[in-house]
Amino acid sequence: MSRWVLSWVVLGMLTLSGCGKEEGTREQMVDLEAVAVEDPAKQLVSLSEAIDRSKRDGSLYARRAMVLLRQGELDRALSDVNEAIKLSKEPANFFVKAQVLYLMGRHEEALPLALQAERNSYESSSLYVLLTELYLDRGAYTKASHFARQALELSPDDPHAIYFKGRVLEVTGDTAVAIRHYQQALELKPDFAETHRSLAGLYLAQQDLAQAKTHTQQGLRQSPEDPQLWYYKGMLQLQSARKDSALASFEKVLSLADTMQAAHFQVALLQHGIGAYELALQHLESAPRYSNVLKYLSVRASSLERIGENLAALRTYERMLAIEPKHTYAQQSVARLRYRLERPRPQLDSMAVRQRGF
C-alpha cells in the first residue's frame, strides 16, 4: 500500500482518545496526546507499557493498532484492534479495523465495518474518505459521491476529501471540475503524490503533454516507486519517440506491479518492434484485456508468423477480419498464409531415390 494511502487512513489516529467511553481501569493510562507526537518506536513502547498496566482499556489497543498500521505491520494491527473491539464496542474501533482491512486489500470486509462506525454516529472526514474509496472501488458512484460530499462538509479544507471528490467527478465524466478539485488539493498539500498522478493521467489523455510531464515528474519525486506514474512516464517518452527509454520505464512498472496489463501491452509492442518476437508473445499473454484490440492481434499474428507458427498466425489474422472485415493487412496476410499452408509440397522423384540407394 502506497504512502499516500497511509497518509489519509491514519488521519483519525489523533482523535481516537476522545471517541467514546472506555472500559476498565484508567488511572495508569499514558498521556495519549503526548504519545501522538513521539516517534513510532517510542509510541509502541509507551502504549505497550500502558497496556501491561491496564489490560482492559480498549482504547489503548486501538491506539497501538494505529501505530502498527502506520508502520505497515498490518497483522499485528489487526490483532490489536480485534482485542480493542472485544473490550469496547466504540464506533472508533470499527473504523480502525476497517482501515486495517482496507490496507490489507480486504475491501469487502472493510466496508461493513466502516458503515457500522458511521451508523453509530462516528464523525470523521477520514471515515467518509474511506467510504468514498470503498464505494468507488465497487463502482457505486452515487454512494461514493454522497460520502465525498459528507467529508467535504465536515472538513472543507481537507486535501484528501477534496481529492476524493475529484475522483468521483472524474469517474463520472466531469473531468474539468475534477481537475479543479485536484488543483485545489495540491494548493493545500503540494506533495500529494496521488493528486499529481491523477492530473498526469488526465492531461495525458487530453494530449496536454507539458502538463502531464510536469505532474508525472512531481509525482515521482514524492512517490518514486509508484507504478502508474512510471507508466505515464513511459507513455510520455513514446510521444517523444524515445522508445528505448520508454521500454525501460515500462519494465520498471512491471518490476513494481507485474500484473499491470497496460504495461505488458506496451512492452509487447516495443519488443515486437525490435524483433524480440517470443518476448512480445509472452507479454501479450499477460495482457488479455487487450485481446480483442486490433493492434494486439496484429502484433500477435506477426510474431507468431515470424517464429514459424503459421497456423496460429492465420487464426489470429482471421480474428482480426472478424472484428474488421475490411482490414487490408489482415486480408493480405490470410491469403499469404493460406497459400503457404495449402500449397503442395515437392515430392522426391522415386527413380532418383532408388538410384541413390535409398
pLDDT at 225: 96
Asked whether residue 209 is domain-assigned, the answer is: no
Domain boundary among 103, 120, 137: 120
Asked whether residue 11 is domain-assigned, the answer is: yes
For residue range 104-117, what is the model confidence (pLDDT) as tens digits?
999 999 999 999 99
For residue range 289-331, what is the model confidence (pLDDT) as tens digits?
999 999 999 999 999 999 999 999 999 999 999 999 999 999 9
Distances from the Cα of 178 to the Cα of 112, 167, 196, 198, 333, angstroms? 28, 7, 13, 9, 45
25/96: higher pLDDT: 96
Q: What DSSP character marks residue 155?
A: -
pLDDT at 343: 79
What would the grid cell of residue 255 be?
Answer: 518490476
pLDDT at 6: 52
Number of domains in the chain: 2
Distance CA 48, CA 308 (A): 66
pLDDT at 104: 93
pLDDT above 70 as % of the chain: 85
Distance CA 74, CA 131 (A): 20
**For residues 147-174, average pLDDT:** 95
Q: Which of 4, 220, 219, 227 is nearest to 103 (CA)?
A: 4
pLDDT at 155: 94
Residue 54 pLDDT exceeds 90: no
**For residues 267-292, average pLDDT:** 98
Distance CA 310, CA 303 (A): 10
Asked whether residue 128 is domain-assigned, the answer is: no
Q: Which of 8-22, 34-48, 178-192, 209-223 bottoms out in mean pLDDT, i.e. has the lowest?
A: 8-22
What would the grid cell of residue 51 be?
Answer: 497496556
Q: What DSSP character marks residue 288?
A: G
pLDDT at 56: 87
Confidence of residue 228 (pLDDT cuts 50, 70, 90): very high
pLDDT at 241: 95
**For residues 244-270, average pLDDT:** 98
pLDDT at 342: 87
Residue 353 pLDDT exceeds 70: no
Asked whether residue 113 is domain-assigned, the answer is: yes
Asked whether residue 9 is domain-assigned, the answer is: yes
Q: Which of 340, 221, 283, 181 is nearest to 198 (CA)?
A: 181
pLDDT at 39: 80
**For residues 157-176, average pLDDT:** 96
φ/ψ of 223, rounded to 5, equals -140, 75
271/33: higher pLDDT: 271
Asked whether residue 55 is domain-assigned, the answer is: yes
pLDDT at 26: 27
Distance CA 251, CA 231 (A): 9
Q: Which of 309, 248, 246, 247 is nearest to 277 (CA)?
A: 309
Distance CA 204, CA 217 (A): 13
pLDDT at 55: 80
Asked whether residue 204 is domain-assigned, the answer is: no
Domain boundary among 120, 150, 170: 120
- Greatest alpha-carbon span in the chain: 110
> Which CATH number covers residue 23?
1.25.40.10
For residue range 109-143, what is the model confidence (pLDDT) as tens digits?
999 999 999 999 999 999 999 999 999 999 999 99
Taking a C-beta distance cutoff of 8 angstroms, is the pair 230, 253 a contact?
yes
pLDDT above 90 as % of the chain: 77
Tell me the residue range of the domain where 8 lies. 1-120
Asked whether residue 162 is domain-assigned, the answer is: no
pTM listed for this prediction: 0.81
How many Cβ atoms sit within 10 Å of the Cβ of residue 76?
A: 17
Taking a C-beta distance cutoff of 8 angstroms, is the pair 229, 198 a contact?
no
Domain boundary among 70, 87, 120: 120
**For residues 183-208, average pLDDT:** 96
Distance CA 65, CA 93 (A): 10
